[in-house]
């Protein structure tokens, strides 16, 4: 009921308040390996090989390799586990999730027209496909032990600065969530009595805010996170086979992203009381993009490929709120409910370049190598009019801290018989940002999730088998993605040295089993 009462205030005010941070861009920028079982078992090193539905999303020229039409579909079972080490205290959590990974309809057409013969166009192929590019499903816990001198309240007190108490306290005649000049995390903490206002005696102006904690009081922190969602691609692609040596292709792609995260950051105070910051955020995004590519076969045993994906402009809509539970001892306890904050904005992603090569060993074996490059620091936030002026602060941070992203994929296949093949692969991606990255929040933000993860690189270990008959094929693959992150309960650079809570190291493993069925005709 309290949430419903606050809804109108949230709709009115939060449209005017900036909410996103640089960390929201990571969901869009980091690459991943998703696709058919054959593609996945070779670590996605298919840019020059082609003739696989998922290869088309990396290089649409691979569609031209097809000589017959095909329908394929892939399912995936993922087992995710995360291990966290925070101040010598470890925690493990995870989840299982199944899903539909890919569907494609390939139309292979041999050309016979006079124009095609003059252009040496042997094949003119089309495809209609769906690919899951990313899976955000994850559950993790981070436990920090006890007797920690720093607290999230130290950061919230700093962040609140010298905002006057009358701007933060909720009264019968004033709703602070309607004030577009104050941050919602400060409103919640002040009304919960977790931070205290100190004023100058001579003029009564606010001097600073401080935590309710006593001097030298310690806390026992813990954190729980559950994420869900996906990034999907729907594509229409064309590719031409020119004299069996040059293959050119292009695709028009529609992107759909859904992301939900619910988290609880809790501190138990050593003297009396505790608090829990329960944050919720839901994001939905869409974009339309174009990719072009080419494959050239200079000699029969070698294929060379290249593709470029134009920058994407994602249209985003976010909803966020916080439930702050507090217990200050005795009868002073309860829950502070914020309204729902709404924010619409755009994010332009960088151009992505793929270079690839493949070695063909007669009819028995293939080896593929692929390199992906994107200059992440060219990403930028924009408003609905594609104007980035109001996002100068965020975009300057992206330009200064985001790194160039590199990904290398290597995979091989060997046919034990004419119908049965084994496959293996390895891939890794570099860190998407400098390790000095920290979360900078706008002074009037509706976002209350002060914690953040600094991502590291990712490694992929893959393998699989496949069986091919004259009109059908069945493939199995296993993919283990391992990536590391550094967790921060709040930005430690904003508080004094003795109040800086140490970071936690988090290692996540996504072990996926994929199965693909394809029919050729």
Burial 393-428 (b: 16+ CB within 10 A, else e): ebbebbeebbeebbbebbbbbebeeeeebebbbbbb
Nearest Cα residue to 309 out of 258, 372, 238, 358: 372
The whole-number pLDDT of residue 7 equals 44
Query: pLDDT of 428-448, one tens digit each?
Result: 999 988 767 888 888 889 999
Residue 422, H or E segment:
strand 420-429
Contact 78, 99 (CB under 8 A): yes
Give the residue from 303, 420, 286 showing the smallest Cα distance to 370: 303
pLDDT of residue 19: 64
Residues 6+ apart with CB under 8 A from 186: 156, 159, 160, 163, 168, 195, 209
**Both tokens of residue 347?**
């994010």
Report the distance separating Cα 298 and Cα 277, nearest Å.
Answer: 60
Contact between 368 and 303 (Cβ < 8 Å) = no
**Are 27 and 351 within 8 A, CB to CB?**
no
- Whole-number pLDDT of residue 14: 41
What is the pLDDT, as a whole number, of residue 11?
44
Under DSSP, the state recorded for 115 is H
* Owner of token pair 């019968």: 172
Burial class (CB in 10 A: 0-12, 13-18, 19+), 331: exposed
| Cβ–Cβ < 8 Å for 277, 350 | no
Helix (H) or strand (E) holding 121: strand 121-135
Beta-carbon contacts of residue 202 (< 8 Å; ≥ 6 apart): none
Determine contact, residues 58/158, Cβ cutoff 8 Å: no
The length of the chain is 521
Q: How many other CB atoms are found less than 10 A from the CB of residue 506? A: 25
The predicted pLDDT at position 17 comes to 53
* CA–CA gap between residue 39 and residue 55 (Å, rounded): 7
Tens digits of residue pLDDT in 250-308: 999 999 999 999 999 999 999 999 999 999 999 999 999 999 999 999 999 999 999 99
Pairing, β 302-309 against β 274-299: antiparallel
**Which segments of the chain have a pLDDT < 50?**
1-16
Q: Where exactly are the structural domains of the chain?
A: 2-520
Question: What pLDDT does 76 receive?
Answer: 96
CA-based nearest residue to 422, from 475, 458, 377: 475
Q: Does domain 2-520 have CATH number 2.40.160.60?
A: yes
Structure tokens at 94: 């995870």
Per the CB < 8 A criterion, the answer to whether 182 and 444 are in contact is yes
Angle between helices 152-160 and 184-191 (to 10 degrees): 110
- Region of residue 224 (phi > 0: left; psi between -120 and 50: alpha; otherwise: beta): beta
User: Could you give the maximum distance between any two Cα atoms of the chain, in Å?
Assistant: 93
- Sign of the CA dihedral with 7 first, then 8, 13, and 17 last: positive
Copy the structure tokens of residue 69: 């039409």
């Amino acid at each position: 009921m309290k949430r419903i009462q606050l809804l109108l205030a949230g709709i009115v005010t939060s449209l005017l308040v900036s909410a996103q941070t640089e960390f929201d861009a990571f969901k869009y920028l980091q690459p991943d390996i998703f696709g058919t079982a054959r593609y996945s078992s070779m670590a996605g090193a298919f840019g020059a090989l082609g003739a696989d539905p998922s290869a088309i999303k990396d290089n649409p020229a691979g569609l031209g390799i097809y000589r017959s039409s095909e329908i394929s579909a892939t399912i995936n079972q993922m087992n995710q586990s995360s291990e966290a080490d925070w101040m010598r205290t470890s925690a493990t959590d995870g989840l299982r999730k199944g899903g539909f990974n890919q569907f494609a309809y390939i139309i292979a057409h041999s050309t016979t027209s006079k124009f095609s013969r003059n252009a040496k166009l042997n094949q003119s192929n089309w495809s209609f496909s769906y690919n899951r590019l990313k899976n955000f499903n994850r559950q993790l816990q981070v436990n920090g032990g006890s007797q920690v001198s720093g607290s999230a309240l130290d950061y919230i007190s700093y962040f609140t600065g010298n905002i006057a108490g009358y701007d933060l306290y909720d009264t019968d005649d004033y709703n602070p969530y309607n004030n577009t000049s104050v941050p919602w995390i400060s409103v919640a903490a002040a009304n919960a009595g977790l931070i205290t206002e100190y004023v100058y005696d001579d003029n009564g102006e606010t001097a600073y805010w401080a935590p309710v904690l006593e001097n030298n009081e310690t806390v026992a922190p813990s954190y729980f996170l559950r994420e869900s969602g996906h990034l999907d691609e729907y594509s229409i692609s064309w590719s031409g086979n020119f004299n069996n040596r040059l293959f050119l292709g292009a695709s028009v792609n529609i992107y759909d992203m859904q992301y939900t995260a619910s988290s609880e950051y809790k501190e138990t105070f050593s003297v009396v009381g505790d608090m829990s910051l329960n944050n919720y955020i839901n994001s939905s995004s869409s974009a339309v993009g174009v990719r072009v590519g080419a494959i050239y076969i200079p000699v029969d045993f070698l294929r060379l490929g290249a593709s470029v994906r134009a920058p994407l402009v994602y249209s985003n809509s976010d909803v966020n709120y916080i439930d702050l539970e507090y217990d200050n001892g005795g009868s002073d306890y309860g829950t502070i409910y914020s309204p729902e904050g709404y924010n619409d904005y755009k994010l332009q992603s960088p151009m992505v370049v793929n270079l690839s090569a493949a070695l063909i060993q007669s009819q028995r074996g293939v080896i593929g190598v692929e390199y992906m490059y994107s200059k992440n620091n060219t990403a930028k936030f924009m408003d609905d009019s594609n104007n980035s002026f109001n996002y100068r602060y965020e975009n300057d941070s992206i330009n200064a801290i985001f790194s160039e992203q590199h990904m290398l994929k290597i995979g091989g296949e060997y046919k034990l018989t004419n119908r049965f093949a084994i496959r293996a692969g390895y891939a890794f991606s570099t860190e998407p940002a400098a390790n000095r990255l920290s979360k900078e929040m706008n002074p009037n933000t509706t976002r209350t999730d002060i914690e953040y993860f600094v991502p590291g690189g990712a490694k992929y270990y893959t393998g699989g088998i496949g069986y091919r008959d004259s009109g059908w094929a069945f493939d199995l693959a296993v993919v283990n993605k391992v990536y590391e992150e550094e967790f921060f309960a709040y930005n430690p650079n904003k508080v004094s040295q003795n109040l800086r809570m140490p970071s936690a190291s988090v290692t996540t493993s996504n072990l996926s089993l994929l199965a693909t069925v394809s029919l050729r005709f």
